[in-house]
């Protein structure tokens, strides 16, 4: 397939990626305790009312508002209701029941009880009666049956990720098992004659592979099953053999390096030779030579070999693709706007992703770009808070201009 020499705009590449992300529809059942960050393969409905009965929101005394209203007389205490041990004895509308926070007030047993007065607003006489010194409003301090959830109410929709805060709701209805999509299986190669594993003895003229470990970690944050497929030398037949042989065993293949235009770059050569390449070379900096195609119907993304370019293109392009592939339809990259604390000129028609940090100047917050922009300078990532986006139409940045800023932490949550 002959590729256009014109660089593809980032918006078009994003559209191609997302339209190509056919979700993996294999389903498995997991326990609630293992469901965090998994993608729901079913709608979840409440099997109970929550609360199941009216209950007390405070420690105090439950009574019938109209019967006791404004009474200055002492009111007899009929009994005591505790969480897990409700009062089931006899009581009438002229009496009160001592309640503790969370104690049930069973409506079918005591239909007349509609209000709770806080304990500190009462004078207690020999633990047998009370006088209300500060009268509450009607219906005060009662949590109503079904106030949180009603039976058959939709709690969580299919195709969304289960968050930590969702576990409280799911456990509150006694949900034990959850149907989720299986984790996508990702295989990662690094390419290059100069590379060696980070945990091996350093060889002369070689460099440690810093990309693979980082990419494995990033994919695990997206809840993928990740397999390290090792390092491929710059040899076309070896590249073809190893990628093609692994293509049927994974939902997604990732390579780093080998996608530029030199004679040593074999991944792009393989993709072009198969004719199944969706794009190669984008109007972005860093990360221009990123490639996307398919080998035996398995998506393959060729990332740049430069560490900074590989990491940033992962954040800005691959994250949403992987989430959709995993079945998550709600994933959006979260950003904030901050005024710029720098000035710069930029080439028109290219999106630039700058490493940057949030800085405080005279009690106001700004974004400041990292002083060095090279794609191989790993310290520019470790010393930055996130990514500043300079959109393709912009050519001149002045101090005070509002810019999009993506924090690294937000990009993996």
- Of 308, 223, 233, nearest to 264 by C-alpha is 233
Is pLDDT above 70 for 144?
A: yes
- Of 232, 139, 226, 163, nearest to 194 by C-alpha is 232
Provide the pairing of β-strand 386-390 with 291-295: unpaired
* Domain spans, the chain: 10-24+183-326, 29-50+148-181, 55-143, 336-407
Pick the range with the lowest mean pLDDT from 103-107, 215-219, 408-412. Answer: 408-412
Q: What is the pLDDT of residue 2?
A: 53
Q: What is the pLDDT of residue 292?
A: 95
Q: What is the pLDDT of residue 234?
A: 86
Task: Specify the CATH number of the domain 29-50+148-181.
Answer: 3.90.105.10
Is pLDDT above 90 for 329?
A: no
Residue 70 to residue 49: CA distance in whole angstroms: 33
Confidence of residue 122 (pLDDT cuts 50, 70, 90): very high
Is pLDDT above 90 for 69?
A: no
- Judge contact between 241 and 270, C-beta under 8 A: no
- Judge contact between 346 and 394, C-beta under 8 A: yes
82, two tokens: 């505790």
- Of 219, 222, 145, 148, nearest to 187 by C-alpha is 219
Confidence of residue 3 (pLDDT cuts 50, 70, 90): low
Looking at per-residue pLDDT, the higher value among 139 and 330 belongs to 139
Query: What phi and psi values does residue 211 have, to the nearest 5 degrees?
Result: -75, -45
Confidence of residue 236 (pLDDT cuts 50, 70, 90): confident
Q: What is the pLDDT of residue 375?
A: 78
55-143 is classed CATH 2.170.190.11: yes
10-24+183-326 is classed CATH 3.40.470.10: no
Q: What is the pLDDT of residue 377?
A: 87
CA angle in degrees (0–180, nearest 5) for 265-187-278: 55
Long-range contacts at 163-169 (CB < 8 A, ≥ 24 apart): 163/36, 163/37, 164/36, 167/32, 167/35, 167/36
In the predicted model, what is the mean pLDDT of the chain? 93
Residue 368 to residue 361: CA distance in whole angstroms: 11
Residue 388 to residue 403: CA distance in whole angstroms: 7
Query: Does 10-24+183-326 match 336-407 in CATH topology?
Result: no
- Convert the pLDDT of each residue in 150-209 to its tens digit: 999 999 999 999 999 999 999 999 999 999 999 999 999 999 899 998 888 888 989 899
Pick the range with the lowest mean pLDDT from 6-20, 24-38, 63-77, 172-186. Answer: 63-77
Task: Specify the CATH number of the domain 336-407.
Answer: 2.40.340.10
Residue 377 to residue 197: CA distance in whole angstroms: 19
Q: What is the pLDDT of residue 271?
A: 80
Q: What is the pLDDT of residue 270?
A: 82
Q: By three-state DSSP, how is residue 274 classified? A: helix
Q: What is the pLDDT of residue 413?
A: 74
- Convert the pLDDT of each residue in 241-297 to its tens digit: 999 999 999 999 999 987 766 556 678 788 878 768 899 899 999 999 999 999 999
Burial of 409 (0-12, 13-18, 19+ CB in 10 A): exposed
Q: How far is CA 286 from CA 154, 189, 301, 355, in A?
A: 44, 20, 16, 10
């Amino acid at each position: 397939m002959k590729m256009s020499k014109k660089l593809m705009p980032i918006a078009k590449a994003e559209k191609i990626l997302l339209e190509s992300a056919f979700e993996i529809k294999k389903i498995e059942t997991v326990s609630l305790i293992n469901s965090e960050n998994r993608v729901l393969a079913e709608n979840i409905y409440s099997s109970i009312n929550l609360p199941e009965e009216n209950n007390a929101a405070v420690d105090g005394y439950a009574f019938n508002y109209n019967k006791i209203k404004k009474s200055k007389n002492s009111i007899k205490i009929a009994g005591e209701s505790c969480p897990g041990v409700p009062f089931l004895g006899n009581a009438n509308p002229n009496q009160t029941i001592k309640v503790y926070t969370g104690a049930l007030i069973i409506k079918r047993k005591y239909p007349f009880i509609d209000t709770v007065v806080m304990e500190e607003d009462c004078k207690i006489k020999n633990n047998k009666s009370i006088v209300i010194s500060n009268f509450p409003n009607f219906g005060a301090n009662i949590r109503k049956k079904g106030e949180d959830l009603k039976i058959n109410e939709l709690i969580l929709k299919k195709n969304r990720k289960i968050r930590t805060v969702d576990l409280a709701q799911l456990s509150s209805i006694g949900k034990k098992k959850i149907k989720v999509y299986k984790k996508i299986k990702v295989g990662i190669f690094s390419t290059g004659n100069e590379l060696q594993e980070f945990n091996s003895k350093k060889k002369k003229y070689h460099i440690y592979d810093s990309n693979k470990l980082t990419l494995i970690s990033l994919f695990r944050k997206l809840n993928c099953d990740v397999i390290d497929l090792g390092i491929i030398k710059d040899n076309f037949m070896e590249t073809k053999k190893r990628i093609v042989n692994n293509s049927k065993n994974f939902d997604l293949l990732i390579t780093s390096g080998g996608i530029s235009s030199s004679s040593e770059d074999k991944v792009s050569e393989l993709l072009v030779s198969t004719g199944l390449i969706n794009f190669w070379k984008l109007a972005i900096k860093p990360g221009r030579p990123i490639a996307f195609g398919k080998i035996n119907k398995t998506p393959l993304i060729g990332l740049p070999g430069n560490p900074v370019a590989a990491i940033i293109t992962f954040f800005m392009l691959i994250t949403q693709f992987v989430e959709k592939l995993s079945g998550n339809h709600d994933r959006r990259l979260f950003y904030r706007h901050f005024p710029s604390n720098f000035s710069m000129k930029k080439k028109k028609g290219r999106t630039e992703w700058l490493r940057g940090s949030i800085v405080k100047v005279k009690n106001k917050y700004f974004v400041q770009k990292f002083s060095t922009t090279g794609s191989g300078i790993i310290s520019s990532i470790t010393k930055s808070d996130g990514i500043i986006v300079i959109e393709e139409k912009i050519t001149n940045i002045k101090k005070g201009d509002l810019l999009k800023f993506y924090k690294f932490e937000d990009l993996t949550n």
